[in-house]
Amino acid sequence: MSDRKPVESWLTDMDGVLVHEGQPVPGAPEFVRALRASGKPFLILTNNSIYTARDLQARLNRMGFDVPEYAIWTAALATAQFLADQRPGGTAYVIGEAGLTTAMHAVGYVLTDFAPDYVVLGETRTYSFEAITKAVRLIDGGARFICTNPDPTGPSAEGALPAAGSVAAMISKATGVEPYFVGKPNPMMMRSALNTIDAHSETTAMIGDRMDTDILCGLEAGLQTVLVLTGISTRAEAERYPYLPSRIISSVADLIDEI
């Protein structure tokens, strides 16, 4: 990264970077504290659309992170912003929880199952066969298909859970219609985050723990990328990809002195 401009803004994934299995990554609260003290713009990103930014702020605060609500950017917020830009004041049939429905209401969307402009699929703890059937019929009837993120599974204490990407595949199989995914690895997620903090790609770094989402997304958006080894991808796995991060470090604790 020495041949790039100094980093003036930071984007960081949450799970696997700041938090791992419900506990803070060692040094992560201090990293966030250093970011806030520096005055540099930053956002914490997550593909999870279940929770509102306020919910996630409370969760992080309980783990020792001093994070303001406005510093959290979710796939639900990015999706709502994207739809508001595409069709202001539109209508949508939404399968999701408070994080997504709150974001949709906040941009002025009406949630309805009567001839909606969009079917919007997000994460939920309990996918309803009735709701999925209704989504299939609405898409067959002409509604456009949007999904917050392509993740096929999500973590839980008991193991992997089917996530939005898996349910989207089922709806696509039934309708023949592929969704537009807004969340990572779509660089749209990065660009919306950059716009939110008025940052420029050439002076922004993305920190992530997954080569196939965080690093790919940052790379395609023109950001400097930092892979941490506290989550999914290992150093050996990173070498197998056709692209590389700007650098690989053990954890965000290694970045504290650079902020």
Indicate which residues carry an active-site annotation. Answer: 13, 15
Please tell me the distance from the alpha carbon of residue 203 to that of residue 69, in angstroms, as a whole number: 23
Q: Give me the residue label for tokens 């993305």.
A: 206
Residues 6+ apart with CB under 8 A from 129: none
Helix (H) or strand (E) holding 191: helix 187-196
